[in-house]
Structure 1
């Protein structure tokens, strides 16, 4: 009887999760003002990412802003590489690759973090010096030394 009851409860939990998840993570709003709107969604099917703007949206054009990124690790990162793609109206305008962690050159405190640890990065970004208009799509991918996807984010930046 206990096994049957446990199976029913487990089935209800699984059905509830399947019913409420549409296969995508929710869209998170980072910033929404009359000048700029920033939204993002994790494109990793297994985990979401926390991204917070610790400064006001209006500061993007006037002073450096502070951001915070939080992410649980499913694999260790002895080496960590990111790729950034920026598109405007579907047209590719920018690509950037960077090695953030190398075996003998750990540039950040999260380099060498192990599976199961939580990464928290707080950093400042300089002001936006180019007056932008329109809707931009920003894709950021992060992989480790084994080619395992550590993070994937799809962001929409709308400048009014």
Structure 2
């Protein structure tokens, strides 16, 4: 009888979770626009259904050669003794660049956030001096995924850079 009660309770809990999932208004994070000028628009959306990512791009430059400050922030759900990045750049749906890199290789912490524990808030600040002086035009899509040593997804972001 106890096994049946536990089994029924588990089924009920799973049913409630699935009903809540089906009737949610949004199953994705909102689209964040971090820069919107006459010549440049930068927007992103977290592709991790459990966690959003904070990102700023200030000041919003009028040209790609103008300096800007970047800041990324996220709350860790898992430790990052090792951290691996996978980045893809698409132009018009065609892959033009791919990079896979170990940000925190085993026993070689390259960045201050390497070795951070679950529950810590990670903030990464960087200054972007110049992207390019090439006359670029179009919508560039970036997909960035970062996983830890256990292949647990730490962050996932889809970003769009529109250059007019």
Q: TM-score range by the shorter chain?
A: 0.7 to 0.9
Residue 132 of structure 1: how far off its partner (Å) = 1.2
RMSD after superposition: 1.9
Q: Could you tell me which residue of structure 1 aligns to residue 3 of structure 2? A: none
Q: Could you tell me which residue of structure 2 aligns to residue 115 of structure 1? A: 118
Residue 19 of structure 1: how far off its partner (Å) = 6.1
Q: Aligned in 2, Cα 1:53/1:18: closer, same or farther, shift over 3 Å?
A: farther
- 2-side partners of 1:67 and 1:81: how far apart? 20
1:83 aligns with 2:86: yes
1:151 aligns with 2:155: yes
Where do 4+ consecutive residues of structure 1 move more than 2 Å? Answer: 17-21, 54-60
Contact 1:55–1:67, Cα closer than 8 Å, also in 2 = no
- 2-side partners of 1:21 and 1:78: how far apart? 36
After TM superposition, the score normalised by the length of structure 1 is 0.84
Residue 39 of structure 1: how far off its partner (Å) = 0.5
1:138 aligns with 2:125: no
Please give the per-residue CA displacement for 1:83-126, whole angstroms capped at 9, x wherever unaligned.
11011111111101111112321111110000111101111123
Name stretches of at least 5 consecutive residues in structure 2 with no aligned partner. Answer: 1-15
After TM superposition, the score normalised by the length of structure 2 is 0.82
Residue 59 of structure 1: how far off its partner (Å) = 5.6
Q: Could you tell me which residue of structure 2 aligns to residue 42 of structure 1? A: 46
Q: How many aligned positions are there? A: 146
- Greater C-alpha radius of gyration: 2
1:32 aligns with 2:28: no
- 1-side partners of 2:129 and 2:57: how far apart? 13
- 2-side partners of 1:21 and 1:74: how far apart? 24
Residue 51 of structure 1: how far off its partner (Å) = 0.1
